[in-house]
């Protein structure tokens, strides 16, 4: 065999081995390595994305934690570790001491909800609307943790005896029913009073309601003349002297001047030259101007002004007692009451 043939055979074998090795590396080894590298790259990208997500979540959590801490430090409600039903009843009775015609409380039950406990009360009664509003205001804006729900309010027209004149006065009251939850025995730290702040009065809602929705703009029935005032539509004008007008009521002379009260109004002017008296009346929300002429005895009536009825407002408690379980209540030594009926199962 010549050298050329031998060299050709050797080159052929070497090329075959090189091609085979290249084929093996390209088709067998490299795909597995490429797949491994791609998996590592994907894992690195996932870890990077996870780190970025964790950093974003950490930033959000830091903001939320700061806001939660700010709200916690700004809290003004207190959840007492101990609270008795008689203390709650005494507190509610103190809030309803003025402006209420009736106020009934019934304890419907007490529940232990794991991290806190709740007394539940059913409350019914009748009061001036402003007094009821003030009661709700004090319960919801006091430092004790109470919740009112299921509130229903209806108009109630009733009469109140007047012992001086022995004539009943007609008043418009609010008959109400509601449920109240009193919370206590909370988590550690909720009862700590040290960090509780005082709330400025400017950020709280007004103590008096802007309007009374149960008081009509115009009364269908006029009130009684409980103060026994001169009724210019019934009592006669008998004299106008100087700045005085003289009426006869039930056989008795009554002398009135400008500004003096009459039934449903007041004396607006007295004109001795024309012997005329002008009376401004508010008849259940309808304002009228009545002119009385002494010479003719005639009464001239003219409706004036806008329709508006002045509301008789109920009393409002400005200085409410502290809620039971608060540091103020403990320092004052309040709430030594008695128990109230508990429903029997």
CA distance 232 to 223: 15
- The yes-or-no verdict on residue 92 having pLDDT over 50 is yes
Q: Which of 77-86, 117-126, 173-182, 214-223 has the lowest mean pLDDT?
A: 214-223
Phi/psi at 131 (5° precision): -70, -40
What would the pLDDT profile of 37-73 be if each residue is shown by its tens digit?
888 888 898 888 898 899 989 999 988 888 877 766 6
Burial of 289 from C-beta contacts in 10 A (0-12 / 13-18 / 19+): middle
Residue 214, SS3? coil
Helices of type H across 155-207: none
Contacts of residue 338, defined as CB under 8 A and 6 or more positions apart, other chains included, come to 86, 89
CA distance 226 to 339: 42
- Cβ 101 vs Cβ 126: under 8 Å: yes
Per-residue tokens: 119: 């007394």
- Cβ 121 vs Cβ 343: under 8 Å: no
What would the pLDDT profile of 146-200 be if each residue is shown by its tens digit?
999 999 999 887 777 766 655 566 678 899 999 999 998 866 545 555 555 666 6
CA distance 335 to 296: 69
- Report CA torsion sign: 127, 318, 135, 217: positive
């Amino acid at each position: 065999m010549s050298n050329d043939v031998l060299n050709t055979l050797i080159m052929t074998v070497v090329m075959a081995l090189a091609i085979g090795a290249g084929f093996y590396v390209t088709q067998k080894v490299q795909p597995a390595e490429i797949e491994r590298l791609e998996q590592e790259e994907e894992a690195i990208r996932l870890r990077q994305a996870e780190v970025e997500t964790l950093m974003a979540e950490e930033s959000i959590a830091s903001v939320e934690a700061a806001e939660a801490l700010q709200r916690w430090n700004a809290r003004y409600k207190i959840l007492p570790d101990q609270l008795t039903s008689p203390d709650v009843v005494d507190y509610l009775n103190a809030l309803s001491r003025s402006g209420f015609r009736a106020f009934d409380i019934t304890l419907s039950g007490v529940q232990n909800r794991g991290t806190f406990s709740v007394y539940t009360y059913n409350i019914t009664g009748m009061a001036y609307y402003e007094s009821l509003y003030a009661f709700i205001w004090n319960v919801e804006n006091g430092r004790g943790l109470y919740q009112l729900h299921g509130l229903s309010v209806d108009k109630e027209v009733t009469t109140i005896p007047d012992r001086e004149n022995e004539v009943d006065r007609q008043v418009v009251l609010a008959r109400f029913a509601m449920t109240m939850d009193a919370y206590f025995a909370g988590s550690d730290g909720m009862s700590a009073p040290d960090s509780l702040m005082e709330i400025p009065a400017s950020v709280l809602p007004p103590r008096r309601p802007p309007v009374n929705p149960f008081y009509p703009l115009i009364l269908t029935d006029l009130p009684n003349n409980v103060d026994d005032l001169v009724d210019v539509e019934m009592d006669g004008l008998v004299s106008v002297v100087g700045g005085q007008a003289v009426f006869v009521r039930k056989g008795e002379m009554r002398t009135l001047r400008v500004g003096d009260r009459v039934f449903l109004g007041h004396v607006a002017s007295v004109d001795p030259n024309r012997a005329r008296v002008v009376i401004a009346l508010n008849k259940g929300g309808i304002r009228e101007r009545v002119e009385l002429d002494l010479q003719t005895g005639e009464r001239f009536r003219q409706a004036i002004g806008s329709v508006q009825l002045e509301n008789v407002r109920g009393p409002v408690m400005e200085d409410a007692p502290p809620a039971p379980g608060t540091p103020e209540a403990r320092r004052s030594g309040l709430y030594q009451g008695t128990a109230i009926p508990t429903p029997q199962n």
